[in-house]
Amino acid sequence: MKAAVFHEYGPPDVLKYEYMPDPEPRLGEIRIKVHGATVNRVLDVALRNGTQMHRKAQLPCIPGVDCAGIVDKIGPGVTKWKVGDHVAAAGGMPLDIVTEDGKGEDGKPYTGPKGMMGIRRPGGFADYVCVPSSETVPLPKNLDFHEAAVVMRHCPTAWNLLMNEAKIKPGEWVLIMGASGNLGSVGIQIAKNIVGCKVITCAGSRSRADLGLKLGADVAIDYSTQDLTAEILKATDGKGVNVLYDNIANPDVLPKAFMGLGLDGRMVTAGAHGGPVAPINFFHLYDRRITIRGMPGAKPEDLPKCFAAAAEGKIKVQIAHVLPLSKAAEAHRMMEADPGMGKIVLDPTMG
C-alpha cells in the first residue's frame, strides 16, 4: 500500500509518500480501506514537527488520528462487521490484541497499553489501516466519507463539552469561540440546531465571524475591531452568557470572553493551541460563581447521535480542502500557514 509516513521529526518535507507493507488484521481487528482522514494541527502537524514529544509517537509513524472508509478485510473472531460496511475509527485504542468485545486474549477486561492511532499505532494516512473491531463505529450510508472523518474527529468532543459537561439548555446564551474552526462551527450547530440555544460566536476577522451567522448563530463578533466583552453584554442585556465554549486559550481574547460570563456561568474547553496560558479575572470567577471544566475526548454513546445529526443535515462540517494522500506534506504546509482554516481531508482513493 501507499502511505504518508515520517521516520524523523522535522518540517513538512519529512512526511514522505511511500510504499509500506499491507497491514493484516489480527484477532479482533478489521482492515479499513481509507476514503478520508483529517489533518489536525496538533495531533498531526505539531506531532510531526517535534513539539508533541510527550505523546511518544512510534517511529516510523503513519499519522492520521481518524479515518472513515469501507471494511476491506475481517480478522479472526470478528462477527460484528462484514466486508463493504461503511465505518469510522479515531483516537485512543488498545495497542495489544483485544477481542471483538474489547477484552484481552485471556478473556478478562483489557488492562494493556493504549494509544492513539496515528501516534502509537498506524493511522489513517494510508490506503489501509487495521483497527480493533471494538473501536470501530458504523456510518449512515448517506454520509460522505470526507464529512464522516471530520464528524468523527470533532463532533463527539464538541457534543461532550456542550451536552455532558456544560449541560446546555434551550434558550440559554452560549458563546462559541473560533467560529471558522471545526470545533467552533460544530459547537454553534449543536447549541443552535440540536438544543435551541441563543448563540454568540466570534473570530478574529469579519468574514470568519460572519461564517457563524451562516451556521445559525444569532450574533457574530469580530474581536479584532469590536470590544468582545461589551458586545457580549450588549447582546444579553447586560446579563452575560450562560456558557463559554473555548478550545483556543488565546491570551489576548479569552480574558475578555471570560468577563462576558454571567451568574452561575459555565466554561468548558478541550484545547489550548493559542496559549496555553491565559489570564482570567478571579474576582469575576468567584463573584459570578463560575465553574470551569476541562474535558478532552468523548463518550462512545454519543457517536451515533453525532453521525445521525450530520446525516440529517443538522451538523455540517467545514471542509476547506480535500487532497489526495500524496499531497500530505503540502497539506501540513497549508495548515502551518493558516491554522484557522477549515479542515483539510486526505483521500487515498484520489490517487
Is the confidence at residue 345, as pLDDT, over 70? yes
d(CA 139, CA 308): 9
Q: What is the pLDDT of residues 110-123, one digit of tens each?
A: 999 999 999 999 99
What value, to the nearest 5°, has the Cα angle with vertex 124 and ends 118 and 125? Answer: 95
Q: Which CATH superfamily includes the segment(s) 2-138+318-350?
A: Medium-chain alcohol dehydrogenases, catalytic domain (3.90.180.10)
> Sorting pLDDT into bands at 50, 70 and 90, what band is 339?
confident
d(CA 208, CA 214): 10
pLDDT score of 297: 80
Q: Contact at 8 Å (CB) between 162 and 245?
A: yes
Q: Which CATH superfamily includes the segment(s) 156-294?
A: NAD(P)-binding Rossmann-like Domain (3.40.50.720)
| Domain coordinates in residue numbering, the chain | 2-138+318-350, 156-294
Q: Which residues does residue 268 pair with via DSSP β-bridges, in sequence order?
A: 245, 293
3-state secondary structure at position 208? helix
- How far is it between the farthest Cα atoms of the chain? 62
Average pLDDT, the chain: 95
195 Cβ contact partners less than 8 Å away, ≥ 6 residues apart: 162, 163, 168, 169, 170
Q: What is the pLDDT of residues 200-213, one digit of tens each?
A: 999 999 999 999 99
3-state secondary structure at position 109? strand
The H or E element that residue 68 is part of is strand 66-74
Is the confidence at residue 237, as pLDDT, over 70? yes
3-state secondary structure at position 261? strand
> Sorting pLDDT into bands at 50, 70 and 90, what band is 351?
low
Which of these, 84, 90, 100, lies nearest to 129 by C-alpha position? 90
Q: What is the pLDDT of residues 33-49, one digit of tens each?
A: 999 999 998 899 999 99
Q: What is the pLDDT of residues 245-302, one digit of tens each?
A: 998 899 999 999 999 999 999 999 988 878 899 999 999 999 999 999 999 888 889 9
Locate cell 453584554: which residue? 233
d(CA 345, CA 132): 23
Share of the chain above pLDDT 70, in %: 99
Is the confidence at residue 11, as pLDDT, over 70? yes
Q: All 3 cell numbers of residue 171?
A: 434558550
Q: Beta-carbon neighbour count of residue 262 at 10 Å? A: 20
Q: State how far Cα 234 lies from the chain centre.
A: 31
d(CA 101, CA 23): 22
3-state secondary structure at position 21? coil
Q: What is the pTM of this model?
A: 0.86
Q: State how far Cα 242 lies from the chain centre.
A: 24
